[in-house]
Amino acid sequence: MSASQRASTARSWQHHLCGLIWGKNQLSELPAEIWRLTALKRLELRDNQLTKVPSAVGNLSFLNWLDISGNQLSELPSEIGKLKVLRDCSLNENQLRALPPEIGKLKALRELHLSENQLRALPSAIGDLRILQVLELDRNQLSELPPEIGKLFRLTEIDLARNQISRLPSEVGKLTILQRLQLEMNQLRELPVEVGKLTALKGLFLSKNQLRTLPPESGNLSSLRQLWLDDNKLTALPPEVGDLRF
């Protein structure tokens, strides 16, 4: 292939390539050419050895699916907030210690997967993801949730298992269409009474905490089908739980 032919092919890719699947290789850094593929809608880079996402990721303004799971990322660039049409973002199994506030600019985001990182806190901007439906945060180092979590009105699933959470904010009661709440292996001693407002909840998983009691309001969870309470410090259940019909 001549130099002119190669250049022509590169220009064609730049304007027409909409999907790039480059997982399970040995990439430690990404070539600059990737960020010129401005027509990309799907980018998968999982299970490589990447330590950094360049700021040029913001050039991929049509990207709606991004998977960089299974790498060695410790941070994200603020330019991630420029991905205005991103719907699904998977960053599982990295070394992320924090999320940039610009994460809240991903207004189209439906699913955010952050399992098995090193997150200690969430930015208040997480509450700006108003159409988020699935949030995975299991196996991190979270000790609490920001009250802004209550702004995620479209949330149907949230996984917070294997963290260090000792209490839930009362704002969790605003997640009225939530169907699955996973909190196994945390340090919860009690639940807020507002948990009784989660009337769409089908699965509540509380194994391996330090719960000594459940609030009477838990009897209001009329949609509940699974309730896991093993390995806590409970000696009884509130009578209202008897109103549940599993």
- Say which amino acid occupies 184: E
In what order do the strands lie in the sheet containing 19-21?
A: 19-21, 42-44, 65-67, 88-90, 111-113, 134-136, 157-159, 180-182, 203-205, 226-228
Helix (H) or strand (E) holding 10: helix 3-16
**Rounded Cα distance, 187 and 10, in Å:** 54
Structure-token pair, residue 210: 């330090």
**Rounded Cα distance, 20 and 202, in Å:** 37
CB atoms within 10 A of CB 198: 24
Structure-token pair, residue 111: 């699913």
Whether the full predicted model's pTM is greater than 0.85, yes or no, is yes
pLDDT of res. 103: 98
| Averaged pLDDT score across all residues of the chain | 93
pLDDT band at 94 (very low <50, low <70, confident <90, very high): very high
CA dihedral 150, 151, 155, 158 (to 10 degrees): -40
Residue pair 142/166 in contact (Cβ under 8 Å)? The answer is no
What DSSP letter does each residue of 66-106 carry, written as one string? EE--SS------GGGGG-TT--EEE--SS------GGGGG-
* Residues 199-212 pLDDT 10s: 999 999 999 999 99
pLDDT of res. 239: 87
pLDDT of res. 241: 79
Structure-token pair, residue 79: 């330019």
CA dihedral 22, 28, 33, 39 (to 10 degrees): 40
